[in-house]
Structure 1
Amino acid sequence: MYPSDLRPSPHSETLAARSAHGEPGPRGQDPRSTALSIVRSEPEAATAPPDPRDLRRVQRVRKAVLAVAILAFLLVAAVTRPLLNEGALTGLLPGIGVLALFTAIIGRAWCSLYIGGRKTREIVATGPYSISRNPLYVFSFLAAFGVGAQTGSLVLAAAAVGLAVVILGATIRREEAWLSSAFGEAYGAYSARTPRFWPRWSAWRDDTLLEIRPARFVTTLLDGAFMLMAVPVMAGLARARATGIVPTWLVLP
């Protein structure tokens, strides 16, 4: 799907043909003035589509900022002991977090089957993208909770989600501005009927066939699997605090 204003309409082509053969334009208008008006109006109507490289630059910035945020989060988590670090409830929050991580990994891979490299060429509005404009990011928020939950602290789990919402939210706004510029009214109509995040299940529609790009699917799957590293990393930090290798500066619920 491309912006409609990049394709000349049949009506304009007819006018150009009439002018070229010296036929009168609408309402007996001089063919030379008709041709002149067409020549003048075409550069104004046709605008160059946004450069897909702009969208890739947004993604590179998002990854860089996210990397810094993850490092900062790990430093805080290293010196923070959860308030409930003993008893039957000790592993409850981390266990819920692992479930959230697996759900996020599967969900992100599912979304990649539909979006895989198509974002800059067309509006993807089927499957998970028929009920939410950003299902891939919704699963990323769930993954952030799963990572934060491995600390055993509800406060840090909420902080991880908050960081993801702030960083990815800025990326989403820039992506939506690019898509609106690229696809115009078509994207506006899609945005009007599809929620930004929370799914509208009644709007579900699907494709009978999908063109799958295996490389992108595998990349998304591996990116998601990398998040499972939070489980051994947080467990190692907990042991380091328990043995005194890492000091405890904060105690949070």
Structure 2
Amino acid sequence: MRRLVLAVMVVAMFAALLFGQSSFPPDTTVHEVVEMLGILMIFLGVVGRLWCTLYIGGRKSDEVVTGGPYSMTRNPLYVFSTLAAAGVGAQMGSIVATIGFALLCAGAFHVVIRREERYLASEFGAEYQNYLARVPRFWPNPSLYREGDTGSFRPKLLLNTLLDGLVFLVALPVFELIDHAQITGALPVLFRLP
């Protein structure tokens, strides 16, 4: 379900932005700074997702994982995916696209999170209810951080997470190609975003 939601979001965002352009021209400082911050957000998102997998990988159906990134937020994989999605939006050089991608991603994950919480509450009972009471659903609270056991390491799960995260990196060359196609007139620009 998570992969399907992510794939649908990526396709929808890509289709919408195929014909949009930043209101900041490509060679301006603002455009370049937004793109560079986006690259940083993408890499932090991918690395963060890998960090989460080191803790949750292979254990998420067996126990309530409460250490590492899961001590600060109940859904760190979704937080880091949202950060990476914002980075994808930033590749357009637009602040509005950056925020829009993040909000769209967080909104889609909200639906998935609610469903997962119902399942986990029924599966783990009081243990999960205690976790719900002390750890925020989405926005991380770094003051809650505590190291935890990573359990057994499963390289295949880490590889799958890395491959999922690399989808975000595809935005880098794709948006450069879109910029080029728009500048040369091969793609029409139907709207501009600040």
The separation in 1 between residues aligned to 2:54 and 2:150, in whole angstroms, is: 11
1:201 maps to 142
Aligned counterpart for 2:14 among listed residues 55, 59, 74:
74
Report the secondary structure of 2:74's partner residue. coil
The structure-2 alpha-carbon separation of the partners of 1:199 and 1:64, relative to structure 1 and needing over 3 Å to count, comes to closer
**Could you list the runs of 5+ residues in structure 2 that have no partner in the other structure?**
none
1:148 maps to 89
1:29 maps to none
2:133 maps to 192
The separation in 1 between residues aligned to 2:88 and 2:37, in whole angstroms, is: 10
Residue 213 of structure 1 and its aligned partner are, at CA, apart by: 0.8
1:214 maps to 155
User: Where do residues 111-150 of structure 1 align in structure 2 (5 Å cutoff)?
Assistant: 111-150=52-91
Q: Is the 8 A contact 2:54 2:150 kept in 1?
A: no
The answer to whether 1:173 aligns with 2:114 is yes
Residue 67 of structure 1 and its aligned partner are, at CA, apart by: 2.1
Report the secondary structure of 1:66's partner residue. helix
Residue 208 of structure 1 and its aligned partner are, at CA, apart by: 5.6
Residues 23-64 of structure 1: CA deviation (Å, up to 9, x unaligned): xxxxxxxxxxxxxxxxxxxxxxxxxxxxxxxxxxxx2xx432
RMSD: 1.5
The separation in 2 between residues aligned to 1:251 and 1:219, in whole angstroms, is: 36
Residue 209 of structure 1 and its aligned partner are, at CA, apart by: 6.0
2:4 maps to 64
Higher RCO (C-alpha 8 Å, min separation 6): 2
The normalised TM-score by structure 1 is 0.72
Identical-residue share of aligned pairs (%): 43
The separation in 2 between residues aligned to 1:137 and 1:166, in whole angstroms, is: 10
The answer to whether 1:109 aligns with 2:50 is yes
The separation in 2 between residues aligned to 1:158 and 1:151, in whole angstroms, is: 12
Count the aligned residue pairs. Answer: 193
Residue 129 of structure 1 and its aligned partner are, at CA, apart by: 0.9
The separation in 2 between residues aligned to 1:225 and 1:103, in whole angstroms, is: 12
1:41 maps to none
Q: Is the 8 A contact 1:107 1:136 kept in 2?
A: yes
The structure-2 alpha-carbon separation of the partners of 1:190 and 1:208, relative to structure 1 and needing over 3 Å to count, comes to closer
Q: Is the 8 A contact 2:56 2:150 kept in 1?
A: no
The separation in 2 between residues aligned to 1:208 and 1:182, in whole angstroms, is: 21
The normalised TM-score by structure 2 is 0.93
The separation in 2 between residues aligned to 1:119 and 1:208, in whole angstroms, is: 13
The residue type paired with residue 153 of structure 1 is S
The residue type paired with residue 8 of structure 2 is V
**Could you list the runs of 5+ residues in structure 1 that have no partner in the other structure?**
1-58
Q: Is the 8 A contact 2:74 2:135 kept in 1?
A: yes
The answer to whether 1:241 aligns with 2:179 is no
Aligned counterpart for 1:83 among listed residues 23, 31, 55:
23
